[in-house]
Structure 1
Amino acid sequence: MITFIGFANTLVLARLLVPEDFGLVAIVMSISAIVFAVTELSLAQALVQHNAPTDSHYNTAFTLNLIRAAGVAIVLVVLSVPMAALYGDPRLVYGLMAIAVSSLVIGAINPKLAAMSRELVFWQDFATRSGDKLAAFLVAFLVAVIWQSYWALILGVIAGQMTSLILSYIICPYRPRFELSKWRDLMSFSIWVGLGQAVNTLNWRFDQLVLGYFLGNTALGYYSVGARLASLPTKEATRPVAAAAFPGFAKLAHDPERLRRAYQRAQSALMVVALPVGVGFAVAAEPLVLLVMGEKWLSSVVVIQVLASVFAIGTIATTVQPLALGMGQSRILFNRSLLNLGIRAPLTMAGLLSGGLVGLLVARCIVGFISIWINLYFVRELLGLSYSRQLLINRRSLIAVVVMAAAVYLAGTPFDGLGLGVQSLKAICMIAAGIVVYPAIVMLLWWCQGYPEGPEHDAMKLAKAILSKVSGRVFRR
């Protein structure tokens, strides 16, 4: 549901707005994201990792978050005028000021939600994220229909944040108090997480800021929308497992062998889901974009094709973050982010200046594969798992996705050159090919290997349990 809402939001707004609107808001959100990241405290992770948080810990987290939010708001207001002058667009002033006000909303969100995550209860995360995305979609849609302005994107974000704030206190009743007595206790863990998050955000936002400066809002609009669509399938498909991984790993931190098994089980489950979704979307991107978004967004197809594949393959070691957090090794995440930034920034600039948008995408590919090996290296350092063990656990998914990509591509070739009228049929055939071929190849390889432990085994157990429950109800009737 969350994935559907996210896609619908982007696709519907892409129909109603122009690429320049998305480019302008991408600059606003990139600047604000960097300011947020530089001041990141990561107190929610500190509360989850803490052995026995008290009310004083939650009150301290609430107070620190609110102080940080006020600081962010002031910085964004101060930056609004010089950033508008740098990019030559006075609309940035109003956009940054609006996000400055919304930062206070983020700072007031209920820290007690971390208590539920500690107990591996995640329905509240689903509820808040669903409410956030639904409110953002409805408000953005109404504003886009009425005014057809970039304000649809900004007001949608603010509406989503307000919804998250309200839901956080409905789901987990809590009356916060201003208190700072436990700040040392929380900051001792969160300082390295916060620094790592700051550097990581620079990694992910740097390209949008420089692209907007050198190529303008329209090119940035194609890139930002393409990148967002490319990341959504993989991100939303893997978020539930990633959310459960952190507290789960934290509980096993003192049992290395069980932790290794849990890590590989979570990682293989992520890959078996994320890989076909991301790669399949990349192969079928052109008919889907033409069908849903229209020809004006055709330039975003190459962005989706490249980045969706990179993001999907990158899930092979993405759980290094919850692993390091669960083990209390947050400094490793800072080192990883700093290393990635040192590689990504110069390659991004070189690619952009030498080849424009295409050069930037080539650089993203190179950086993506380097980042995969960096993640694999840190997993080896944390768990003692060799590169080969980390890769071989995902071999069935990797082989199956190659076969699936070929099948999806071939399913669309009979419709090439037949015009826009057949794009819906082309997209349906390509999606159907992926849905049939990928699971068939995965299960065939699983059978050939003698039914080893893995995500296929878990899926079969779940299917049997559901079938048993359904059949039991039928017979009772």
Structure 2
Amino acid sequence: MTLKQQAIRGALWTGIQNWAGQMGAFLVFFVLARLLEPADFGLVALANVFLAFMQIFLEQGFAQALIQREDLEPEHLDTAFWTNIAIGIALGLLSLLTADWIAAGFDEPRLTPILRCFSLIFLINALRGTQQAVLERQFAFKAIAMRSLLGIMIGGITGIGMALSGLGVWSLVGQQFMNELVGTLVIWKASDWRPRFRFSLRHFRQLFRFGSHVLGLNFLNFFNTKINDFLIGYFLGSVALGYYAISYRILQVMTQLLVRTTSGVSLPTFSRLKHDLNRFRNAFYTVTRLTSAIAFPFFLGTSVLAPELVTVLFGEKWLPAVPVIQLLSILGLVRSISFFKSSVFMALGEPAWAMKLKFLSVTLNLVGFAIAFRWGIIGVTFANMMRGLIVFPVGQWVLSRMVKIPFFTYSRQFSAALVSSLVMMGLLLSVKTYLTSLIEMQIIILSLCTLLGAATYGLMLRTLAPQIVAEFWEIGRVALSRSKDTQKA
């Protein structure tokens, strides 16, 4: 099987994982949002700030180092596994010991038992890290997709069942715990690699030399994403954090569906092409072109239809989240074409550049919050959006110098999708205003605008960039032929 076929097959299974998994997760999210209160989501979001911070030290970059290495030896895998186990146990104990102190810091005594329950997740995730890296290195994305789907399904059933039983915030805790546990069990069943009781200091140094940059990047990425949860929860309260958390969750779902389908295979693919810059650039252009063609209309369409979307899916009690969702949709537009830069830096063995860009982003985020928090979550979200718009051209400049990508050539990859999406957006604004004066039912307005937006965008893209449509047909043909070959076998 060629590298292109491996990448397409991997993207197909990642797409199945993302679309089926995220649609299932969003359905669970939709049900829980109607059963629970914003404060419940805010409380678990606070607990997840601590969980995500501690998780940085568990995910110390060894997985990326294992995927990226050309001369991978069995000792690398064993060393990475036992390092993860030791760190997972240490983090779990630390979580148990500090739960009271952290809860007191937020003046939220209900946090204590939640943090203690989450302490078990560190060991669960430690058992999974090396196994998943092995599967990603082998392009075994089918097994990874099954892990995600089963975890989401069983975790969702658990969460909804607990919510219907009146367990409140614990339904969110149970959902997350079961998701992680089931995912780890599935990964171990799918992988044929098993650790041996050995540890090599030399191999640890080799992995840490690469992973230390990823650790720094993950540390900065935490401040880039979770620090807003911490600051909003501390300064504005758990209710405001609940509105922000559900808005950011929508952005995450859309990013997962529209961007991560291809980003999951980008690191192993780029790593294989790093010695052939022409093919490397072409792969980067292709993934940017196709991702923008999918993501742009969804993000801009969401910014227009956010009021109807929130009312129909979550109910009127969540309407204060609408302006936050609209601003985050613009940020999602930028993220969709920035997402692959980290994979490029990792594949080229230059994770330090990704870390420097994250540091710039974190600095701007903290400065923006300090200025904007007095205007509430809308001010904070606006500052977050502006941060993304500032960092994007800087990152592109670094990438252009590294792999000789002219900005004009790069911008052409997403220009047709952007123009088509803006035309669609303008039409939706006009039509929605007209329909609102005639129709009271929000679901009808949302349905009609969605159909009109899809038709308008498809027609515009077909007119401006027929080659992009042809590329999607080619990917579908390769994926379908591969599926038929698998069935015959």
- Mapping of residues 76-475 of structure 1, within 5 Å: 76-109=95-128, 111-181=130-200, 182-353=203-374, 355-416=375-436, 422-447=441-466, 451=467, 455-462=468-475
Distance (whole Å) between structure 2 residues aligned to residue 129 and residue 118 of structure 1 = 17
Q: Is the 8 A contact 1:136 1:156 kept in 2?
A: yes
Distance (whole Å) between structure 2 residues aligned to residue 308 and residue 239 of structure 1 = 16
Change (3 A) 1:34 1:147: same
Matched, 1:56 2:69: no
**Offset, 1:111:** 1.8
The answer to which of 180-189 and 459-468 deviates more is 459-468
The answer to which of 428-437 and 227-236 deviates more is 227-236
The code of the aligned residue for 2:457 comes to Y
**TM-score normalized with structure 2 length:** 0.90
**TM-score normalized with structure 1 length:** 0.92
Describe the SS at the equivalent of 2:239: helix
The code of the aligned residue for 1:97 comes to R
The answer to which of 289-298 and 126-135 deviates more is 126-135
Q: Is the 8 A contact 1:48 1:118 kept in 2?
A: yes
**Offset, 1:234:** 2.3
Q: CA RMSD in A?
A: 2.0
Matching residue of 2:17: none
Q: Is the 8 A contact 1:22 1:224 kept in 2?
A: yes
The code of the aligned residue for 2:362 comes to L
**Offset, 1:6:** 2.2
Q: Is the 8 A contact 2:271 2:347 kept in 1?
A: yes
The answer to which of 329-338 and 109-118 deviates more is 109-118
Cα deviation, 1:182-241, whole Å, max 9, x if unaligned, reads 212211211101111111111101111111111111111001111111231122221121
Change (3 A) 1:375 1:110: closer
Matching residue of 1:473: none
Distance (whole Å) between structure 2 residues aligned to residue 133 and residue 190 of structure 1 = 29
Describe the SS at the equivalent of 1:370: helix
The code of the aligned residue for 1:22 comes to F
Cα deviation, 1:62-109, whole Å, max 9, x if unaligned, reads 111111111221232233222211211101111111111121111111
Q: Is the 8 A contact 1:409 1:430 kept in 2?
A: no
Matching residue of 1:474: none
**Offset, 1:469:** 11
**Offset, 1:443:** 0.9
- Ranges in structure 2 where 5+ consecutive residues have no aligned partner: 1-19, 484-489
Distance (whole Å) between structure 1 residues aligned to residue 438 and residue 228 of structure 2 = 36
Distance (whole Å) between structure 2 residues aligned to residue 244 and residue 163 of structure 1 = 23
Cα deviation, 1:406-445, whole Å, max 9, x if unaligned, reads 22233322342678x5111011011111211112101100
Matching residue of 1:11: 30
Q: Is the 8 A contact 1:318 1:375 kept in 2?
A: no
Cα deviation, 1:136-160, whole Å, max 9, x if unaligned, reads 2111111111124111111111100
- Ranges in structure 1 where 5+ consecutive residues have no aligned partner: 471-477
Distance (whole Å) between structure 2 residues aligned to residue 468 and residue 62 of structure 1 = 37
Identity %: 23
**Offset, 1:177:** 2.7
Q: Is the 8 A contact 1:40 1:195 kept in 2?
A: no
The answer to which of 366-375 and 107-116 deviates more is 107-116
Describe the SS at the equivalent of 1:108: helix
Count of matched residue positions in the alignment of Structure 1 and Structure 2: 462
**Offset, 1:281:** 2.0
